[in-house]
């Protein structure tokens, strides 16, 4: 299972009916959704697709969540500290016919930046949140090494479900997105538990939703993501006899950025967007440039 963006999660419940001129198409139903390409084609998006208000994954421009924890790097036995900073920018980008909201995320291991990524989310009219692509820059010893990019609609990749509008225990598992080799993003998820209580440094939360992420054909390896209503992701854990990374993260800071801080985040995200056209010309290069959201 490739290391995932923190906000990449869940299973959608919806789909059907007719095509719209905007992007996907149809009104959604609450049966049978598996995060497939056909599910995405049937989903209906409108001009409010960047206004992401899903209670389990609210993405308000300027909001920033910081997590701290630890993990065991591949091939090692000792835990190292990790810190992840996720920022909702005020940028939008058209992907696969849908206007998406740009999320910028930084991942630090032992105090060193290991990955800086922009990811693209949109909410359909039924309230389900979709992930439409990712551009991650990976670093080793502070030097760029790779950018395993995938974009919905390009080279066989398609969008997946980031969060359901109404997640229910027992609903089918679903794709969080799909990208064929060389990226090989095939992660899936399902609703594991609901109504839980979870305490992190920020505070204790009730009515927490737990999502279990896994990869088909890889038994005994599960990542657990904990979501608090009206907050989003608050904790990361694991289960399974074959899990080796044993990653843990907890929310340590939640804030709304000032206008100046948001402008700085926008500037950095736009630099990533610009570099992506050179480092992923055959995939990212086929998308229009990210632009600031229009102020209401």
Sequence-distant (6+) residues with CB within 8 A of 281 are none
Non-local CB neighbours of 9 within 8 Å, separated by 6+ positions:
57, 161, 162, 163, 176, 189, 211, 213, 225, 227, 233
* Residues 226-243 pLDDT 10s: 999 999 999 999 999 999
Torsion of CA 119, 98, 166, 35, to 10 degrees: -80
Contact between 188 and 221 under an 8 Å Cβ cutoff? The reply is: no
Contact present, 189 and 10 (Cβ < 8 Å)? yes
Measure the CA–CA gap between 92 and 100, rounded to whole angstroms.
5
Q: What is the pTM of this model?
A: 0.89
Contacts of 80 (CB under 8 A, 6+ apart): 70, 71, 72, 73, 109, 110
What pLDDT is stored for residue 21 in this prediction? 34
pLDDT in tens, 131-143: 999 999 999 999 9
Average pLDDT of the segment spanning 173-198: 96
Local structure of 10: helix, strand or coil: coil
pLDDT, tens digit, for every residue of 237-284?
999 999 999 999 999 999 999 999 999 999 999 999 999 999 999 999
Q: Could you give phi then psi for residue 43, rounded to 5 degrees? A: -65, 150
Interval 186-228: pLDDT, tens: 999 999 999 999 999 999 999 999 999 999 999 999 999 999 9
Under 8 Å between Cβ of 94 and 100: yes
Q: If we measure between CA atoms, which residue out of 132, 139, 128 comes closest to residue 163?
A: 128
């Amino acid at each position: 299972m490739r290391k995932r963006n923190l906000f990449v999660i869940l299973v959608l419940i919806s789909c059907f009916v007719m095509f719209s001129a905007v992007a996907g198409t149809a009104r959604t139903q609450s049966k049978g959704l598996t995060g497939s390409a056909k599910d995405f084609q049937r989903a209906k998006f409108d001009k409010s697709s960047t206004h992401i208000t899903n209670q389990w994954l609210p993405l308000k421009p300027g909001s920033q969540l910081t997590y701290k924890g630890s993990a065991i790097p591949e091939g090692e036995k000792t835990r190292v500290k990790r810190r992840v900073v996720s920022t909702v920018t005020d940028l939008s980008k058209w992907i696969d016919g849908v206007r998406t909201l740009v999320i910028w995320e930084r991942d630090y291991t032992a105090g060193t930046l290991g990955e800086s990524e922009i990811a693209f989310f949109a909410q359909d009219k039924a309230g389900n949140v979709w992930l439409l692509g990712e551009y991650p820059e990976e670093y080793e010893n502070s030097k760029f090494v790779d950018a395993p990019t995938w974009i919905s609609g390009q080279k066989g990749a398609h969008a997946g479900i980031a969060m359901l509008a109404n997640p229910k225990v027992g609903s089918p598992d679903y794709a969080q997105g799909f990208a064929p080799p060389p990226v090989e993003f095939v992660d899936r998820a399902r609703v594991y538990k609901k109504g839980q209580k979870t305490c992190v440094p920020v505070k204790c939360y009730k009515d927490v939703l737990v999502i279990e992420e896994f990869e088909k054909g890889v038994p005994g390896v599960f990542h657990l993501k904990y979501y608090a209503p009206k907050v989003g992701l608050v904790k990361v854990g694991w289960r399974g006899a074959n899990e080796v990374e044993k990653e843990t993260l907890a929310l340590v800071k939640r804030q709304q950025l000032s206008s100046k801080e948001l402008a700085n985040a926008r500037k950095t995200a736009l630099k990533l967007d610009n570099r992506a056209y050179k480092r992923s010309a055959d995939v990212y290069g086929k998308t229009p440039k990210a632009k600031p959201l229009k102020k209401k």
